[in-house]
Chains A and B, each alone.
Chain A
Amino acid sequence: MSGNEIVTDVVVIGAGPVGLFAVFELGLLDLKCHLIDILDRPGGQCAELYPEKPIYDIPGFPVVTGQALTDNLMQQIEPFGPEFHFNRMVNSIEKLEDGSFRLVTDADEVFLTKVVVVAAGGGSFQPKRPPVPGIEEYEGKSVFYSVRQMEAFRGEDLVIVGGGDSALDWTLNLAPLAKSVTLVHRRDDFRAAPASVNEMRALVAKGEVDLKIGQIAGLDGENGQLSAVRLKTADGEISVPATRLLPFFGLTMKLGPVADWGLELNDNLIAVDTEEFSTSIPGIFAIGDINHYPGKLKLILSGFHEGALMAQAAKRIVNPGERVVFQYTTSSTKLQKKLGVV
């Protein structure tokens, strides 16, 4: 256990637009937020999947890109000093005797909080697993979706699959260390940075990297230890000796550990009460695309509204007995002082 416990009013899980705006609504009510996100920056699906694509249904913005919306939200919540914890996934939530919560992330950080707001959109981004039968038994032993320590791949026969920057970067970085590197891609055209592609082709020309055009057809090995990767190519199926497989097919969203937190779910979404967007566990709220209620529309707009109602309920949990006076930002000097505009 970590000795550094972070104590806060609210932990928001998910730093997409809805999680960010929740910080604003909570901030107006003087609630301090920490945000946890599996990505390395704010914006969630908006910034990860379509940063440059226009969104047309945000009130007051006839058109705005996912990245611009994220940037504006970051500016809007700056007065409240939210603290971000990126590249983290919440592994567990435990309800303590006093009604507060203890959260532990996959980096062993511990948060003690009175309120948890799940704003995780479609779930957490996780590596895409190629549809290869039996791949699960090799994962973590011979099949890896990321490289944490390059040394772990020294002297190994590597098969790296993919045509994007991750596949190319790791081909270039691991080639000097590995016993052999075979790069596999479905076509002889790469999405990665042109300089990386050129460098890779130079290594192929020198015989330091083997390039195969095809897809994974199957894995051979025993007890999670890979011995060969079978490839489907235009010339038929071939077998490449391999002790490690690194597939880089990008990210997809999965509900992840949220499914194990004991919350009432409805078709893989968190069931909520629409009065305050509370879940089946008092003190845990769910807003945005991850929740479900009759009539739900998966719109950023809906998530903003849900965040406003959630914040009122969260305030009553963090400061029980304190009278909450509803105020407008246009007329309340108190709110304007919090925002730093007067």
Chain B
Amino acid sequence: MKIHVTDQDGKQHELEALEGWRVMEVIRDWDLNIKAECGGSCACATCHVYVDPDWLQKLAPATDEEEDMLDTVGDVEDNSRLSCQILMSDDLDGLKITLAASAAKDEQAA
């Protein structure tokens, strides 16, 4: 199964995903620009993504915990989600998402 990810620079990537993996883990495994600071504990919001509107309804709704974490970033849109809270399944084969600016890793040290 695949997911389609547009990174912060607008570049598109087609990533191989595995059932049961968190979308955050897939993006991190492919070394795209995602900080994912807390490692999937829904405790940091540094895996913030925008879900393509066509796919939004296929996801389980955000929990209160996820909404609380989304409060901690300044670039939330109606289609914002934390990618660590989206579990890959057959239904999500072909999922389209865009990485939020607030999910980017820190600038590389000189």
A49 to B108, CA, bound (A): 23
Instruction: Let me know if B38 is at the binding interface, CB within 8 A.
Output: yes
Instruction: Let me know if A259 is at the binding interface, CB within 8 A.
Output: yes
A253 to B73, CA, bound (A): 14
Set of chain A residues within 8 Å of B70, measured between Cβ atoms: 186
Set of chain B residues within 8 Å of A128, measured between Cβ atoms: 72-74, 102
Q: 1/0 per residue B37-65: CB within 8 Å of A?
A: 11001011010000000000000000000
Set of chain A residues within 8 Å of B106, measured between Cβ atoms: 123, 254-255, 268
| CB–CB A49/B37 < 8 A | yes
Give the secondary structure class of B's interface: loop
A187 to B78, CA, bound (A): 11
Instruction: Let me know if A122 is at the binding interface, CB within 8 A.
Output: yes
Set of chain B residues within 8 Å of A132, measured between Cβ atoms: 74
Set of chain B residues within 8 Å of A131, measured between Cβ atoms: 73-75, 101-102
Chain A interface residues toward B at CB < 8 A: 45, 49-50, 53, 122-123, 128, 130-132, 161-164, 185-187, 189, 191, 215-216, 247, 249-250, 252-255, 259, 265, 267-268
| CB–CB A50/B46 < 8 A | no
Apart from A128-B102, A252-B44, list 7 A-B contacts with CB within 8 A.
Answer: A50-B41, A123-B106, A131-B73, A131-B101, A186-B76, A247-B74, A255-B109
Residue of B nearest to A215 (CB): B74
A185 to B76, CA, bound (A): 11
Q: Known contacts A131-B101, A185-B71, A215-B76; decide if A49 and B43 are in contact (CB<8 Å).
A: yes
| CB–CB A191/B76 < 8 A | no
**Contact residues on B (Cβ < 8 Å of other chain), bracket:** 20 to 34
Q: List 5 A-B contacts (CB under 8 A).
A: A49-B37, A128-B72, A131-B102, A186-B70, A249-B73
Q: Known contacts A50-B38, A215-B76; decide if A191 and B71 are in contact (CB<8 Å).
A: yes
Set of chain A residues within 8 Å of B41, measured between Cβ atoms: 49-50, 53
Residue of A nearest to B106 (CB): A254
Set of chain B residues within 8 Å of A163, measured between Cβ atoms: 68, 71
Set of chain A residues within 8 Å of B101, measured between Cβ atoms: 131
Q: Per a CB cutoff under 8 Å, which of A53, A187, A253 touches B37?
A: A253
Instruction: Let me know if B16 is at the binding interface, CB within 8 A.
Output: no
Set of chain B residues within 8 Å of A189, measured between Cβ atoms: 67
Q: Per a CB cutoff under 8 Å, which of A49, A164, A249, A265 touches B38?
A: A49
Residue of A nearest to B35 (CB): A252
Residue of A nearest to B46 (CB): A252
Chain B interface residues toward A at CB < 8 A: 35, 37-38, 41, 43-44, 46, 67-68, 70-76, 101-102, 105-106, 108-110
A130 to B73, CA, bound (A): 7
Q: Per a CB cutoff under 8 Å, which of B68, B74, B102, B108 touches A191?
A: B68
| CB–CB B109/A130 < 8 A | no
Set of chain A residues within 8 Å of B43, measured between Cβ atoms: 49-50, 53
**Would you give the shortest CB distance from B76 to chain A, in whole angstroms?**
5
A265 to B41, CA, bound (A): 28
**Would you give the shortest CB distance from A206 to chain B, in whole angstroms?**
25
Set of chain B residues within 8 Å of A252, measured between Cβ atoms: 35, 37, 44, 46
**Would you give the shortest CB distance from A149 to chain B, in whole angstroms?**
25
A268 to B108, CA, bound (A): 6
A162 to B105, CA, bound (A): 22
A158 to B68, CA, bound (A): 24
**Would you give the shortest CB distance from B72 to chain A, in whole angstroms?**
4
| CB–CB B67/A187 < 8 A | yes
Q: Per a CB cutoff under 8 Å, which of A50, A186, A268 touches B71?
A: A186
| CB–CB B109/A268 < 8 A | yes
**Would you give the shortest CB distance from B103 to chain A, in whole angstroms?**
10
Residue of B nearest to A162 (CB): B71
Set of chain B residues within 8 Å of A259, measured between Cβ atoms: 109-110
Residue of A nearest to B80 (CB): A186
Residue of A nearest to B108 (CB): A268
A53 to B110, CA, bound (A): 35
Residue of B nearest to A130 (CB): B74
**Would you give the shortest CB distance from B51 to chain A, in whole angstroms?**
17
A247 to B41, CA, bound (A): 24
Residue of A nearest to B39 (CB): A298
Set of chain B residues within 8 Å of A250, measured between Cβ atoms: 72
